[in-house]
Amino acid sequence: MNLGTEDIMAADRVSPAKVARQQTLKNSIHCSGIALHSGAKVSMTLHPAEANSGVVFRRTDADGGTEIQALWKNAVETPLCTTLVDPKGNQVTTIEHLMSALNGCGIDNVVIELNGPEVPIMDGSAAPFVFLIECAGVAVQDCPRRAIRILTETTVSEPHRSATLSPGAGFTVGFEIDFGDTMIGHQEWFTEVSEGAFKRDVARARTFGFVQEIDKLRAMGLARGGSLDNAIVVNGKEIMNEEGLRYRNEFVRHKVLDSIGDLYLAGAPIIGHFQGERAGHALTLRLLHALFADTDAWEWTELSSASTAVAGQVQPDRAVAARA
């Protein structure tokens, strides 16, 4: 998301010692893996990017190449994952775990090159992407870091599920799931989102699915790359993975992980509280549409370096009047 000239000039008037700066990668870094839904092998490279350029996906295999900025307005609703699409119909899908890692690690600007339409699933969590970011290193840039501060509550809902953004001092996420008479059952969890807390409490939570749904999903062209190596597989009251769970409540933690990734489609960090009640990718996307449709529900703000150092308490330094 590019800043306007007036925004940048206003930011430059703030003391450089106080303003938090945007971040990108120090070096490019490469990985490859299996795509969860197509089952194809895909190669991915993360590159440093200029300040104010945001998160951009580049499809090197598309005719003439294509770039899609990771913004809510470029996303479409698809089953079981988050998908971006360009005007020509080129897609980049299953971006949520990588987006979660970028959000959790405070990476503002990056170009993500793919030789296919889907991000590799790796182990089904965000932890491998956090590892890539740490290996590449983080570079601080000259431009101030902005965030979206929630001013009034915005909610979208449908029967038995809802998603809400409300004002808050930092970025916090709460989630509730209920899978009835399975070993998952009812789970609730809340966390403050900071880099340390994300890496420790969220990043390693894996995606999950159910044995009885596998054939149906694969008939729909989904989960063809899914395995016990990249997902928790539940069979009634049992977990099929020999190693068991990484967290006692890994299932709801993964839903938090997904939400952190999907909310980064706002184009900047969020200052506020997200509450999901059995919500999924589609409902979170509708929530972002509803938020940005109401210009009184949010505002831009700059972040101070002192406040971003406080775990879970990302405080604004000053508000910027311009809207994107």
Q: Are the C-beta atoms of residues 134 and 292 closer than 8 Å to each other?
A: no
Residues 263 and 270: their CA atoms lie apart, in Å, by 8
281 is a catalytic site residue? yes
Counting DSSP H helices and E strands in the chain, the numbers are 8, 21
Q: How far is CA 98 from the centre of its chain?
A: 7
Residues with Cβ within 8 Å of 7's Cβ and at least 6 positions away in sequence, in order, are 146, 300, 320, 322
CA atoms within 13 A on the CB side of 125: 26
Of 47, 97, 281, 289, the catalytic one is: 281
Q: What angle do CA 132, 134, 140 make, to 5 degrees?
A: 120
- Where are the extended beta strands (E) located within 145-198? 146-150, 154-158, 161-166, 171-178, 186-192
Q: What is the rounded radius of gyration, in angstroms, for the C-alpha atoms of the chain?
A: 19
Q: Which one, of 123, 65, 140, 126, lies nearest residue 95 by Cα?
A: 126
Q: Around 57, how many Cα atoms within 13 Å sit in the side-chain half-sphere?
A: 31
Residue 141, SS3 per DSSP = strand
Q: How many CB atoms lie within 10 A of CB 274?
A: 25
Amino acid symbol at 152: T
Residues with a catalytic annotation lie at: 281
